[in-house]
Chain A
């Protein structure tokens, strides 16, 4: 049994001018200790999916349907009280903005200790000792001093390290990281990604990383889920996805990224464009969600929404024309 099993997840929002079907039928699982990336452009529903897992969607105007089984328990059937016991304890989350996610009037130590005292009933001294330990774990120099500092005394990269320390304090089984490095500079991003790779080995929590940056995906993930317009369009191991993308959208995304080092290999080509815009999610879409922008679109695509099919071992794509690998190969 997988650690997390998401089935037919739908998260819709009521807006004055219609229902926004932000996530509309997403299935995936995360195994214990595994790193899964959910990748897609803004508005594809990747963050809403993450928020739905922790039930952080305000209801109303939102509504979540489907099932989210964590360790066999359906989170959508849990009471608010049970959810509070899970959040920050068994499942924790890191957000994009390290500045606004920390409370400016509490010391770093208090904020790490808070979750420990709440979930694990530690005393103040135990919590502080553990906070120092956590800061050491996330590579903050002089943890004994830093533990008494306030967030504004730390730099952006340090704050993100503190966020990670808070998230890991209770030894969660699942860590959800929503664009954890997007707000950071590239050299700091490298530090944080390096830290996340290290922590994966030492802590062993499963990680769901939400990002728009395919470079980040390639650096940290084992399995990748590509989302488009509220749906999963492709899923594969990271090697398969980058070497052999099967959905035209994934192919387009990879083709539209300039490669670092392009001037060295002499392959200075024009970037591949994905024409057009993401469709509005406020109407029900007929046919394939990508049909309006795909260069291979046929009448079939416009009429029939393709099911997610296994096109090769562990490689799933929702496209009528994505070829299957010969079974006997």
Chain B
């Protein structure tokens, strides 16, 4: 069997050569783009979401340069003006410029969103790693987390805010505490599935100590799902912050935040809808952009993960 005798050993004479008919292209060629531009081209949701988020960040940072006035300056004489060339988004019932307030308000939303995302990721990662690796701690920690998850995050945040006085820092802490159970559950799930990976078994056989296994083999592989989860938390934190401010349990009224502006416009909602409209519009766009970024990252980082989250 498989003898070489069925192959002619020498050269084939030119007239005996029969070439296969080449097959045509049935699809237009794919333009491949390399580098960062190519990455954005293939992942439009990252490009669009990222661009809007970046725009919002720049807007918040350079708020004073964007034709704004002092967002807290009261001018009772110019109350509730309609949007005009002078007051782009109009003025509120205390005569403050809504445009300036909305632009400055982005600061609070973004700070709260990003801080909560980072803090709850760190805390959730720690709790998740511990309960994924320490069996006796797992059942206790996870029952506590289950208990916390049975309370809607907003109610939990309101309850926590009721215990303290309103400040941006306290808002961040309250929302972080409310978000931690979800993150730790996710991390624990990821850790448990990573622990079953053959490369972790191989590392154990290679004499790697448990802390090193966590640091080198587990942690780096949680980065992708954590990044995605962090963007969703960021978006959700922005909404929770606005709700807290809207019902007066969040950012103190002296600081303009999108929730505060909407709260103040609430009484005049039917006659002066723009006071509520503009901060709501900005909030929606930002949250949408952050979620879009999250979806894009999820697809780009790991297609298999799309099923898990």
B26: chain A residues at CB < 8 Å are 10, 12, 63, 65
Contacts of A309 in B (CB 8 A): 18
CA distance A154 to B169 in the complex (A): 58
| Docked CA distance A298–B7 (Å) | 13
Nearest-Cβ distance from residue B5 to partner chain A, whole angstroms: 8
Q: Tell me if B77 is interfacial: C-beta within 8 Å of chain A.
A: no
Q: Contact check, B7 vs A319: say whether CB atoms are below 8 A apart.
A: yes
| Other-chain residue from B2, B9, B22 in contact with A251 (beta carbon distance below 8 A) | B2
**Assembled-state Cα–Cα distance A16/B38 (Å):** 9
If A245-B6, A304-B17, A321-B7 touch, whether A19 touches B29 (CB-CB below 8 Å) is: yes
* Whole-angstrom distance between the Cβ of A225 and the nearest chain B Cβ: 16
- Residue positions of B touching A, CB distance < 8 A: 1-2, 4-9, 11-12, 17-27, 29-30, 32, 42
For A17, A242, A246, the residue with the greatest tally of chain B CB atoms inside 10 Å of its CB is: A17
B19 and A307 contacting across the interface, CB-CB below 8 Å: yes
Check if A16 sits within 8 Å of B23, measured CB to CB: no
Which of B2, B22, B23, B27 lies in contact with A272, CB distance below 8 A? B2
The reply to whether B7 and A306 contact each other, CB–CB distance below 8 Å, is: no
B8 & A17 in contact (Cβ 8 Å cutoff): no
Binding site secondary structure of chain A: mixed
Contact B7 A323 (CB under 8 A): yes
B1 touches A254 (CB 8 A): yes
A18 part of interface (Cβ distance < 8 Å): yes
Contacts of B8 in A (CB 8 A): 321-323
Which residues does chain A contribute within 8 Å of B29, judged by CB atoms?
A: 19
Say yes or no for A14: interface residue by CB 8 A criterion. Answer: yes
Chain B residues within 8 Å of A319, by CB:
7
Given known A-B contacts A254-B2, A298-B11, A320-B12, A305 and B27 have beta carbons under 8 A apart:
no
Question: Within 8 Å of chain B (Cβ to Cβ): is A25?
Answer: yes
Identify which of A18, A304, A311 contacts B19 (C-beta below 8 A).
A304
Inter-chain pairs besides A24-B23, A311-B6, 20 sampled, C-beta below 8 Å: A16-B30, A18-B32, A19-B25, A25-B21, A65-B24, A65-B26, A244-B6, A246-B6, A251-B6, A272-B2, A298-B11, A305-B19, A306-B20, A307-B18, A307-B19, A320-B17, A321-B7, A321-B9, A322-B8, A323-B7
B1's nearest neighbour on chain A, judged by CB, is A254
Contact between chains at A322 and B19 (CB < 8 Å) = no
A265 to chain B: closest CB distance in Å? 13
Chain A residues in 8 Å Cβ range of B4 = 251
Contact status A63-B27, CB under 8 Å = yes
Q: Which of A8, A65, A246, A320 has the most CB of B within 10 A?
A: A320
CB–CB A318/B2 < 8 A: no
Residues on the B chain within 8 Å of A308, using CB = 20
Task: Select the residue from B12, B29, B32 with max chain A CB neighbours within 10 A.
Answer: B12
Q: What residue in chain A is nearest B23 (Cβ atoms)?
A: A25
Give the most central of B1, B7, B42: most A CB within 10 Å. B7
